[in-house]
Each structure stands twice: as C-alpha cells, then as structure tokens.
Structure 1
Amino acid sequence: MTDEPRPDRAPARSPPRIDDERRINPVLRQVLELGPPLAFFVAYLWLREETFTIGGTDYDGFIIAAAGFVPLLLLTMGILWKLTGRLSRLQAVTGVLVVVFGGLTVWFNDETFFKMKTTIVYGLFAGVLGLGLLRGQSWLAWVLGEFMPMAQEGWMKLTRRLTLGFGVLAVANEIVWRTMSTDAWVKIETFVFPLVLFLWLWVSIISLQKYVETDDDRPA
C-alpha cells in the first residue's frame, strides 16, 4: 500500500538561481560601484594642499580623503546588497582589504598603506588564481561561473590570462607609487589601472567566445 500525496503538502522549492537576483537600474549600479573611487579622487584634489589637526595630530589631505573613502565604500556596498540581495565574492574581498589598509593608513598616519593596498589586492587575486592553476583548477569559474557559463578549457585559459593581468598590475602599482608623485599615483590608480584591467578582461573574453556555453549547449 502506497501513501497518496497529501494535497496540503507544499511542493519542494528549487535552489536559488542567479536569475533570482533583484535587478536595479544599470546606471545606479555603475554609480554605486564607481562612485567611491571617483569621490576619493575628487576629495584628494580638493584637500591635497590642506592639513587638518585632529586630536593633536596633523593629517594631510590624502589621509583625510582615504579616511572618507572607507565608510563611503562600505555604504555603497551595503546599498548595493540591499537593492540586489547579493554581493560578489570579489566585492566582499576587496571591501575587507580596503577596510584593513584604509584603517592602517589613518592609524599610522602614513599614506604608504593605502598605496600598497592596490598592490595587495591585485597580488592576492593573482596568487589565488595562480594557486588554483597549480592544482589544475579554475577558481575564477567558482567566482564568475554563475554569471558566464563557459567550458572548462575556456575557464582555464581565461584564468591564466587574468592571473597574468593581475600580476602585471600589482608590479606596476609598486613601480608607480615608489617612483612617481602622489598626484600621479592617484590618477593612475583611479583611471588607468581599472581601464587596463577592463580592456584586458574584455579582449580575453571576446577571444574565448567559442568556449561560452548557451542554453542549447547545456545538458538537459
């Protein structure tokens, strides 16, 4: 004798999908993601010639701009999480590193920590992706696979290229902040590095289009 299904039993819920992410205006998303670094850039230009005495300690405009950047970034990340219901793993890791190195910058009143933050971020990403490659895995697929389905061979190639890109940017940041003025570093870190990374990612993805899977390519 078999039990007949009970009519009052709720059907099993399917696991959440990326499609369940709440959509927001793309312009608003760009403002939230790009707003903090642009605000830091503007604040630095405005305050770079100023000195502020707080609690008996003198802080230059760079330190004050960096101090304001940290809570602003956390605020925009919180708004983005509230509106979409999720944050990417890259955003979470970057947020933690910004808090740590931004805090060290203010605590020690030394802009070196904030400048090194960019090296640490790029170097960490290169190191993590490189470690995955040594294990024969693409950890980039774990981060971005839900957004862009791709064959394993494509993920491995894209991971190698981004590992190289992050490594080059980490070295470039060290060269820039150690050999150039703070003005030059702020401009390069705000505009040049993100643009180079975006173009490198875009070119890499375009060249690997044959590995991108569509709904027709996935097993039923």
Structure 2
Amino acid sequence: MNDMSNPVTALAAPQDKRSVPWLKLGVEMGPLLLFFIANARPKLFEPLVAPFLPQAILAGPNAGLFTATLVLMAAVVVALAVSLVKTRKLPAMPLLTAVMALIFGALTLYLQDTSFIKMKPTVLYVGFGVALFGGLAMNKLLLPIIFENAFAITEKGWRALTIRWGAFFFLLALLNELVWRTQSNDFWVYFKFPGILILIFVFSVAQAPLIVRYKLEPDPIDNADV
C-alpha cells in the first residue's frame, strides 16, 4: 500500500515465482526515487518538462516540486506499462496509487498549487485505513488479499494485524498532514521518501512477534507419507 508506489506491498508481499524481483522493485520504488531527485535537482529535468509546464512555474520558488510532480506522473505510467508488458497484469495496489498520483498531480499542475500533491498521501492512507477497518466491520479481511497471503497465520492473527495496520495508516496520514502544513517543500519530500518507507519498514519488522504467535502449524496429514 504506498504512496505511489506502494511500499507496503514491496516490503511485505511474497515474490511470485513468475515475477522478476528487480522489476517489482523498479515499479514500486523507481517513480519515488525520480520524484526525490527531480525535486532536489529540477534543472536536470527542465529540458524534459519545459514543453509541458509554464515558464513561470519553472522559475518560481516551487519549481522543484512542480517538476518532481510531472516527473512522478510520467514515471508511474512508464512503470505500469513495463509491468504490464513483462507480467501481463497490473497489480491492484500499484495501479490504485498510480491513479491517485495522476489525479492529484494533474490538480497540482493545473491549479499551480502544491497542496494537492502533498495531500495525496493523506487521502491514500486514510483510504487504506477506512478500507481495512470497514472490511473488519463487515467480517471481510482485506489484509490477506493485499499481502497475497504472505503469512500463514490464523484468522485471529489476521484480525489483530488488520487493526494494527489500519491504525498505522491513520497515523501516517496524520503525520503527513503535520509535516506538509508546517515544514518546507524539501523537508516534506524527504519525509515522503525515504521517510515513510523507513517508517513502514520499521513497523513491518515490529509485527514479527505477532506473526510468530499466530503462525499456523502445518497439517501433519499433509506431511505424512502416502
């Protein structure tokens, strides 16, 4: 689940035997890395974005973030296209985050207001949290689907994990709001990448004791010799 990329699935989901690890990593992390670089060094990308952005934007105080937004929009489209060609499918979560990036990126550039791209993670993470808790309320666990059953744990374990991840997503949304409303563009970009990725990694590792506690033991019958 990420903000564009969905660092959650990149960290937690198992690798499909038919997938190429470097390709999955590139699709998930590539657009974020380019976003980070374009914000820090907008002049490097100016020849590419100049035909699509007004000169006033490129010369203004938010030139880095506007440039990075357009680069991100292009990168998510390319990443999904490469994934489709190589795997013949579009992963649901990266597709969702890509659509969000395109919508909020378009609003950012059209209205020339960086608030929209900064609010995107908030909306995305609140959506994840609502979906997880909503599914739990309707007795439908969404986390095993999102994680592609990465862990063989009991239903009680999945419920506990769902509550934790749902609360964590709301916390990320709150942190994003606090950061973008009180800090500079550059600080927010650092928070978005690699800051959020680091937080998700630490949180994922912290769930190991719960996963071990609710681990499903293999059925002895399945392991018996026929």
What is the TM-score normalised by the length of structure 1?
0.79
Question: Paired residue for 1:131?
Answer: 134
Measured in 2, the distance between the counterparts of 1:22 and 1:85 equals 11
Q: CA deviation at 1:104?
A: 0.9
Q: CA deviation at 1:177?
A: 0.2
Measured in 1, the distance between the counterparts of 2:214 and 2:185 equals 42
Higher relative contact order (CA 8 A, sep 6+): 2
The answer on whether the counterparts of 2:104 and 2:117 sit within 8 Å (CA) in structure 1 is yes
Which deviations, in whole Å up to 9, do the C-alpha atoms of 1:80-117 show, x marking residues without a partner? 23323334322121111111111111111111100000
Which deviations, in whole Å up to 9, do the C-alpha atoms of 1:198-219 show, x marking residues without a partner? 22122214432232346x3398
Q: Which amino acid in 2 is paired with 1:196?
A: L
Alignment gaps of 5+ in structure 1: 1-17
Percent identity reads 28
Q: CA deviation at 1:165?
A: 0.7
Which deviations, in whole Å up to 9, do the C-alpha atoms of 1:184-203 show, x marking residues without a partner? 00111111111101221222
Q: 1:62 to 1:213 in 2, by over 3 A?
A: same
Structure 1 residues 41-52: aligned runs within 5 Å: 41-47=36-42
Question: Paired residue for 2:219?
Answer: 217
Is 1:172 matched up with 2:175? yes
Measured in 2, the distance between the counterparts of 1:20 and 1:203 equals 24
Alignment length, in residue pairs?
200
Question: Paired residue for 2:18?
Answer: 22
Q: 1:54 to 1:39 in 2, by over 3 A?
A: closer
Measured in 1, the distance between the counterparts of 2:53 and 2:87 equals 40
* Corresponding residue SS for 1:73: helix
Higher deviation after alignment, 118-127 or 144-153? 144-153
Is 1:115 matched up with 2:113? no
Is 1:68 matched up with 2:71? yes
Which of 3, 28, 33 is the aligned partner of 2:28? Answer: 33
Q: 1:151 to 1:195 in 2, by over 3 A?
A: same
The answer on whether the counterparts of 2:73 and 2:102 sit within 8 Å (CA) in structure 1 is yes
Alignment gaps of 5+ in structure 2: 1-13, 58-62
Q: Which amino acid in 1 is paired with 2:110?
A: W
Q: CA deviation at 1:29?
A: 2.9
- Rg larger for: 1
Question: Paired residue for 2:205?
Answer: 202
* Corresponding residue SS for 1:208: helix
Which deviations, in whole Å up to 9, do the C-alpha atoms of 1:12-68 show, x marking residues without a partner? xxxxxx9975231x23432332111111111111128x8969675621231122011
Q: CA deviation at 1:153?
A: 0.8
Q: 1:218 to 1:36 in 2, by over 3 A?
A: farther
Higher deviation after alignment, 191-200 or 77-86? 77-86
Measured in 2, the distance between the counterparts of 1:75 and 1:27 equals 15
* Corresponding residue SS for 2:56: strand
Structure 1 residues 188-199: aligned runs within 5 Å: 188-199=191-202
The answer on whether the counterparts of 2:34 and 2:71 sit within 8 Å (CA) in structure 1 is no
Which of 46, 56, 59 is the aligned partner of 1:58? Answer: 56
Is 1:157 matched up with 2:160? yes
Q: CA RMSD in A?
A: 2.7
